[in-house]
Amino acid sequence: MSETPYQQLERRFKRLSALGEVQAVLHWDMAAMMPRGGGEARAGQLAELKAVRHGLLTAPETGELLDAAEDADGLKGWQPANLREMRRLWTKATALPEGLVVALSKACSACEMVWRTARPEADFAAVKQTLEEVLALTREAAAAKAEKLGLSLYDALLDDYEPSGRTADIDPVFAELEDFLPGLLSDALDAQAAQPKAILPEGPFPEEKQKALGVRLMEALGFDFDHGRLDISLHPFCGGTPDDVRITTRYDEADFTSSLMGVLHETGHALYERGLPKQWRGQPVGEALGMSIHESQSLLVEMQVCRSRAFLGYAAPLMREAFAAESKDGDPAWGPENLYRLYTRVKPGFIRVDADEVTYPLHVIVRYRLEKAMIEGDMEIADLPAAWNDGFKELLGLTPSTDREGCLQDLHWFDGAWGYFPTYTLGAMTAVQLFEAAKKAVPEIEPAIAKGDFKPLFGWLKTHVHTKGSLLTANELLIEATGKPLDPKIFKAHLKARYLG
Amino acid sequence: MSETPYQQLERRFKRLSALGEVQAVLHWDMAAMMPRGGGEARAGQLAELKAVRHGLLTAPETGELLDAAEDADGLKGWQPANLREMRRLWTKATALPEGLVVALSKACSACEMVWRTARPEADFAAVKQTLEEVLALTREAAAAKAEKLGLSLYDALLDDYEPSGRTADIDPVFAELEDFLPGLLSDALDAQAAQPKAILPEGPFPEEKQKALGVRLMEALGFDFDHGRLDISLHPFCGGTPDDVRITTRYDEADFTSSLMGVLHETGHALYERGLPKQWRGQPVGEALGMSIHESQSLLVEMQVCRSRAFLGYAAPLMREAFAAESKDGDPAWGPENLYRLYTRVKPGFIRVDADEVTYPLHVIVRYRLEKAMIEGDMEIADLPAAWNDGFKELLGLTPSTDREGCLQDLHWFDGAWGYFPTYTLGAMTAVQLFEAAKKAVPEIEPAIAKGDFKPLFGWLKTHVHTKGSLLTANELLIEATGKPLDPKIFKAHLKARYLG
């Protein structure tokens, strides 16, 4: 019997998925293994792979098969959702004329290169013109996508990172945070000042000991080293493929706390990838859902689980054993309560990636406001530094002394990632909402965490998040898992309980 | 101006080359980095890449472009040779019906799997039937290629590993070795018995010290760690790509000598890849020529250079410093003369990969005779174990006690690599012939080696071998570089000088 159009599409998307996995392995290798001199050839390999994948996806035959499969009957179970995802990928891939794709890719590479020296030199003027080119081409791409998808310019970009994410939903949520967070921050700082000061354990902390502790906790959380690795890279990330998921970190021998929490964060991403539905592997519906859900899984592990009193009660003795086996039992630096204070310390600062749980959303909201305005044509690049500093002063009460700790700090815009920033905070809020629902549904989750047993937690997450792949939208998933769409009240209650309680 | 057919072909083969580099990186990763659980997904990635490359190469458009380019004028310099190589690749790729390619690939995978347990258990009967299937399909493939190329069955297979290699040229060369080597072996053993016995330095030799010494000698030879790596794998190999060449080894903490020489061997392969002509990168004419030339470069470095008195005079103090810095200066185990005896010890044995320079060709000739007979239909798989043992007894004077140290020892046949074996010995002979010519042309090569300076040697090799890519056949290259085709007399003279001198 010959294959149906849908079956032919499954074969075609399986190939696309395998080539996508190849890209992921090459990216991991580039960051963690590749010698510097391999860069030029690697760029060529990645460019050819990208072109091959683009060609496969946008071939006329793919469009014809989609039309035929949509007209046919007989799809079962997850297949209609898979066909919907195929169509979505095809629509996006065919929305942009090839010339624009190439121009945008070149502009982003050029801009990133200028940014790499402009940032340390805090020299916004140096990068202004090339950033203007990136913005102009990004807006052109947004317009092409917006027309095909029936969306606003900003939503057309956001949709690449957060499928079905819309400013109409995000705006009221962020407005509620804007009202709430500055007051909470001030109260949290007061509460913190009334507490004993957190003590940073004294090093040095040799790299191999940090790695051994990281591996031990990763394994406790359920990371399977038969299906993954932990390595070193300049910028930590979770890469590889669902069956061979590779996370990276970097070690500071003077302070283990940040690297360790980074490892646990990436482990959250990794366990999501590993938990994606095996029976849909290689198909679009089997892929991770979007950035807010992905970030919710890393932040649930890092921020909700691993920075909790329950987890630190379990992990503190392991940390002491790893680094200070000979220290006295009563050394206050290694006490769970001190480590909890350390890991929940609030401190307004300029740099997003160093921000705590309370101030992080404010960093995001500053960026979200600005990128929306620039994409919708309401603001010029020339006005960015001043607008950044105004927004930062308004929301965080601080004024960056240079653009290095202001609008030059993040790669995103310079590399063409517009519409990405809100997913960080959507992810943080989603993490809290999922964790609260999980604890309510399975009361043993928290006592188990205190004993280093994470099975009850991940049992719930697998069922309600990981194995759903891309079957639902993020909001549908939240409603099924927690009974309601994203609700800022849950996030606010969590922050009050943790930072004022 | 629109592209000429030849220019379009260059673009197409550049893509094929980039995807081939990707395959090489994935293979390296699989051997050196990948966790076990990633195997199934990796097999899928490699299969899809292979199918994409096969599809690109055999597309009707490729054949049309080749016809058009061959009819056109205006090719310059290396381009006609490049077009010739493109045609060769296309002819081979289109010679086999797709069904046969798939059947052969599956049969080889199945047979390899059975072999992996049959070998340790010395159970030839267990693997006999699946090996028969591999042979039947290999002969079918040989017939299809033979018809397209106008070659004998065996030559059609050999040509995949050794372009333009022919049994008509190999047979008389090997016949001369068959006549010569048994007598030389006996004389060499006598000469060796009259010498002091070689002393193996006493370990342990920690892995990181072995690696540091390997890196030091690799760098001395000219390996650039900005364009390559040294890692660990079960079976040492040279992989990666010309601009990012990755060699592997494995360490035995009780005996550093074998791993170190293995590293230097792979360094020879690596320097050949690195030295391939940069201006032809990504084109067929810029690729390594074939297995005999590749092996000649590794064996020239290992067997001719690094096992020489000149090299060991330079390296012996470095070895002692690496492992036994506190030992007395006069410890005879670390003396260059002892190390030279150790590294040129002759000892007939059953296992090819452990063989010395004198007996290695006899191991190869046993296999060459047998695989020719099986491919040409003059021998059955059922007769292989007995025929192996007969041949081994005749040429090496030993009879394997089990098939584990007999016909089950090498993966090649079980994995479908028929026609590969002769290239090892052609490579060994080519290495000697090139080294002799180089030393004659540049007299300072040998004194420089004794001082740890390898620039004169590699200067000559780059000019006469590395930068030639696939411009010439192996024999043409030898004639240009040494003034004559492969000449067994040169090899014989070398062996006499080294082992009877």
Distance (Å, rounded) from C-alpha A158 to C-alpha A367? Answer: 13
Token pair in block for residue B78: 């290396």
Would the CB atoms of B244 and A42 count as touching at under 8 Å?
Answer: yes
Q: State the residue for tokens 């979505």.
A: A88
What per-residue confidence (pLDDT) applies to B411?
A: 94
Give the CATH class of A207-349+424-487.
Answer: mainly alpha
Choosing among A15, A48, A248, which should be mutated to test the B contact, i.e. which has the most B CBs within 10 A? Answer: A48
Q: Which of B44, B243, B282 sits opposite A37 (nearest CB)?
A: B243
Q: Which of B35, B41, B48 sits opposite A229 (nearest CB)?
A: B35
Q: Which segment of A332-341, A380-389, B93-102, B311-320 scores lowest on mean pLDDT?
A: B93-102
Q: Is the pLDDT of residue B396 over 70?
A: yes
B51 to chain A nearest CA, in Å? Answer: 9
Token pair in block for residue B62: 């490729």
Would the CB atoms of A36 and B226 count as touching at under 8 Å?
Answer: yes
User: Which positions in chain A touch B40 (Cβ < 8 Å)?
Assistant: 243
Q: Searching chain A, which residue's CA lies closest to the CA of residue B40?
A: A243
Mean pLDDT of B43-56: 94
User: Which positions in chain B touch A227 (Cβ < 8 Å)?
Assistant: 35, 37-38
Choosing among B12, B13, B33, B241, which should be mutated to test the A contact, i.e. which has the most A CBs within 10 A? Answer: B33
User: Which positions in chain A touch B29 (Cβ < 8 Å)?
Assistant: 25, 29
Q: Which residues are within 8 A (CB) of A270 and not within 5 positions of it... i.e. 6 or more apart?
A: A223, A228, A238, A245, A247
What does the pLDDT look like over B373-388, one tens digit per residue?
999 999 999 999 999 9
What per-residue confidence (pLDDT) applies to A329?
A: 64
Q: Which fold has domain B207-345+425-487?
A: Neurolysin; domain 3 (1.10.1370)
Token pair in block for residue B364: 């190869």
Would the CB atoms of A18 and B48 count as touching at under 8 Å?
Answer: yes
User: Which positions in chain B touch A52 (Cβ < 8 Å)?
Assistant: 15, 19, 52
Strands A238-241 vs B238-241: parallel, antiparallel or unpaired: unpaired
What per-residue confidence (pLDDT) applies to B1?
A: 62
The percent of residues in chain B predicted with pLDDT above 70, rounded, is 99
Choosing among A11, A34, A45, A61, which should be mutated to test the B contact, i.e. which has the most B CBs within 10 A? Answer: A45
> Helix %, strand %, coil % for chain A, to 5?
70, 5, 30
Distance (Å, rounded) from C-alpha B332 to C-alpha B334? Answer: 5
ipTM of this model?
0.94
Mean pLDDT of B147-155: 96
Would the CB atoms of B241 and A19 count as touching at under 8 Å?
Answer: no
> Which of A293, A316, A305 shows the shortest CA–CA distance to A456?
A305
Q: Searching chain B, which residue's CA lies closest to the CA of residue A245?
A: B38
Would the CB atoms of B44 and A18 count as touching at under 8 Å?
Answer: yes
B277 to chain A nearest CA, in Å? Answer: 14
**pTM to 2 decimal places:** 0.95
Active-site residue identified among A85, A162, A266, A371: A266
Q: Which of A33, A51, A243 sits opposite B40 (nearest CB)?
A: A243
Would the CB atoms of B48 and A19 count as touching at under 8 Å?
Answer: yes
What per-residue confidence (pLDDT) applies to B6?
A: 98
Q: Which helix (H) or strand (E) element contains residue B240?
A: strand B238-241
Reading chain A (501 residues) residue by residue, the pLDDT tens digits are 689 999 999 999 999 999 999 999 999 999 999 999 999 999 999 999 999 999 999 999 999 999 999 999 899 999 999 999 999 999 999 999 888 998 998 899 899 999 999 999 999 999 999 999 999 999 999 999 999 999 999 999 999 999 999 999 999 999 999 999 999 999 999 999 999 999 999 989 999 999 999 999 999 999 999 999 999 999 999 999 999 999 999 999 999 999 999 999 999 999 999 999 999 999 999 999 999 999 999 999 999 999 999 999 999 999 999 998 777 667 889 999 999 999 999 999 999 999 999 999 999 999 999 999 999 999 999 999 999 999 999 999 999 999 999 999 999 999 999 999 999 999 999 999 999 999 999 999 999 999 999 999 999 999 999 999 999 999 999 999 999 999 999 999 999 999 998
Distance (Å, rounded) from C-alpha A333 to C-alpha A267? Answer: 25
Would the CB atoms of A33 and B241 count as touching at under 8 Å?
Answer: no
Q: Which residues are within 8 A (CB) of B31 and not within 5 positions of it... i.e. 6 or more apart?
A: B233, B234, B235, B237, B239, B248
A131-A132-A137-A142 Cα dihedral, nearest 10 degrees: 90
Residue B329: pLDDT band by 50, 70, 90 thresholds?
Answer: low
User: Which positions in chain A touch B22 (Cβ < 8 Å)?
Assistant: 22, 26, 45, 49
Would the CB atoms of B22 and A45 count as touching at under 8 Å?
Answer: yes
Distance (Å, rounded) from C-alpha B181 to C-alpha B170? Answer: 16
B41 to chain A nearest CA, in Å? Answer: 7
Would the CB atoms of B45 and A25 count as touching at under 8 Å?
Answer: yes
B273 to chain A nearest CA, in Å? Answer: 13
Mean pLDDT of B48-65: 95
Would the CB atoms of B37 and A242 count as touching at under 8 Å?
Answer: no
Angstrom distances, CA of residue B296 to CA of B39, B272, B302:
33, 10, 10
Mean pLDDT of B127-140: 98
A187 to chain B nearest CA, in Å? Answer: 48
User: Which positions in chain A touch B15 (Cβ < 8 Å)?
Assistant: 48, 51-52
Would the CB atoms of B35 and A225 count as touching at under 8 Å?
Answer: yes
Distance (Å, rounded) from C-alpha A129 to C-alpha A136? Answer: 11
B219 to chain A nearest CA, in Å? Answer: 15
> Which of A200, A217, A262, A256 shows the shortest CA–CA distance to A449?
A217
What does the pLDDT look like over B482-499, one tens digit per residue?
999 999 999 999 999 999
Strands A244-249 vs A228-232: parallel, antiparallel or unpaired: parallel
Choosing among A14, A19, A22, which should be mutated to test the B contact, i.e. which has the most B CBs within 10 A? Answer: A22
Q: Searching chain A, which residue's CA lies closest to the CA of residue B13?
A: A48
Choosing among B25, B54, B229, B274, which should be mutated to test the A contact, i.e. which has the most A CBs within 10 A? Answer: B25
User: Which positions in chain B touch A224 (Cβ < 8 Å)?
Assistant: 37
Would the CB atoms of B44 and A242 count as touching at under 8 Å?
Answer: no
DSSP annotation string for B425-449: HHHHHHHHHHHHHHHHH-TTHHHHH
- What is the DSSP-derived secondary structure letter of residue A228? E
Would the CB atoms of A44 and B19 count as touching at under 8 Å?
Answer: no
The residues of B carrying an active-site annotation are 266
Would the CB atoms of A45 and B19 count as touching at under 8 Å?
Answer: yes
> What residue type is B149 in one-letter code?
L
What per-residue confidence (pLDDT) applies to B2?
A: 87
Q: Searching chain A, which residue's CA lies closest to the CA of residue B19?
A: A45
Q: Write a three-state SS string for A357-426.
A: CCCHHHHHHHHHHHHHHHHCCCCCHHHHHHHHHHHHHHHHCCCCCCHHHCCCCCCHHHHCCCCCCHHHHH
What does the pLDDT look like over B106-130, one tens digit per residue?
899 999 999 999 999 999 999 999 9
- Chain A positions with Cβ closer than 8 Å to B: 14-15, 18-19, 21-22, 25-26, 29, 33-38, 40-42, 44-45, 47-49, 51-52, 224-229, 240-244, 281-282
